[in-house]
């Protein structure tokens, strides 16, 4: 069994089939990948695909923890002599963390997927967020523009803009002034004021009408 230190190195040059230490068939590549996985200690949570030209290791677990998968990719990247970087799909909202290196003389790729943040985080059906070259976080409805990158779940959650209705509400009068105005224009309705209004209405109805004049009408509203 080979050790990780013997497998770390720069991407290999083109080799001829049968060269010692450089697998030339998928079976040999699979054995080299198996040796690497065994010596790395990452015996689960990965999907390995091999061909005559390279080895692909996809970190799939823990499924709901992107930070933990990122840590695994970073550790395996050091063993294959690579560095982790984000690779974005340009036509749709998807991103990978990927590192390129070598395993047993073969080209090797270690990767995992990360979710793209959206404008509606809870429902997941909002527009995807992307970062412009100047650092602005903007919702992108279609393809990712050149020079931009997707904002992923590993990025800090961007601050959301204040809703327009909330800004209008903030510009209204302070809450302490509105009740004072209402109290000044409309005195409180009490039992004493109701009794005073009833006595005034009875006194007005008991007055005799003068000749040639029209009897005054009872007030339809209380005098407050």
Buried b (16+ CB within 10 A) or exposed e, 165-204: eeeeeeeeeeeeeeeeeeeeeeeeeeeeeeeeeeeeeeee
Query: 97 in the Ramachandran plot: left (φ > 0), alpha (ψ -120 to 50) or beta?
Result: beta
pLDDT in the model for residue 11: 41
pLDDT confidence bin for 139, thresholds 50/70/90: very high
pLDDT in the model for residue 121: 66
CB atoms within 10 A of CB 83: 11
CA–CA distance from 23 to each of 51, 77, 214 (Å)?
10, 20, 119
Token pair recorded at residue 109: 């790729």
pLDDT over 60 (residue 83): yes
Mean residue pLDDT across the chain = 75
Q: Supply the pTM of this predicted model.
A: 0.59
CB atoms within 10 A of CB 117: 22
Summarize pLDDT for 144-196 with one digit per residue, the tens: 999 999 999 999 987 754 344 444 445 554 555 444 444 445 555 566 666 67
Summarize pLDDT for 28-79 with one digit per residue, the tens: 888 888 999 999 998 889 999 988 778 999 999 998 899 999 999 999 999 9
Q: Summarize the chain as % helix, strand, coil (round to 5).
A: 30, 20, 50
pLDDT confidence bin for 17, thresholds 50/70/90: very low
pLDDT in the model for residue 214: 52
pLDDT in the model for residue 188: 58
């Amino acid at each position: 069994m080979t050790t990780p230190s013997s497998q770390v190195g720069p991407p290999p040059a083109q080799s001829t089939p049968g060269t010692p230490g450089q697998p030339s068939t998928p079976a040999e590549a699979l054995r080299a990948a198996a040796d690497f996985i065994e010596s790395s200690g990452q015996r689960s949570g990965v999907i390995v695909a091999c061909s005559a030209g390279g080895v692909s290791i996809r970190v799939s677990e823990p499924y709901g923890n992107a930070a933990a998968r990122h840590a695994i990719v970073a550790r395996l990247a050091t063993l294959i002599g690579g560095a982790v970087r984000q690779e974005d799909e340009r036509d749709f909202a998807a991103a990978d963390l990927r590192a390129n290196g070598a395993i047993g003389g073969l080209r090797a790729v270690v990767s995992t997927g990360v979710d793209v943040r959206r404008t509606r985080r809870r429902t997941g059906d909002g527009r995807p967020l992307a970062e412009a070259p100047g650092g602005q976080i903007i919702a992108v409805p279609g393809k990712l523009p050149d020079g931009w990158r997707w904002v992923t779940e590993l990025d800090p959650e961007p601050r959301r803009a204040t809703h327009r209705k909330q800004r209008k509400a903030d510009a209204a009068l302070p809450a302490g002034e509105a009740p004072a105005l209402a109290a000044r224009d409309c005195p409180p309705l009490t039992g004493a004021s109701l009794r005073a209004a009833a006595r005034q209405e009875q006194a007005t109805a008991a007055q005799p009408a003068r000749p040639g004049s029209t009897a005054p009408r009872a007030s339809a509203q209380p005098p407050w």
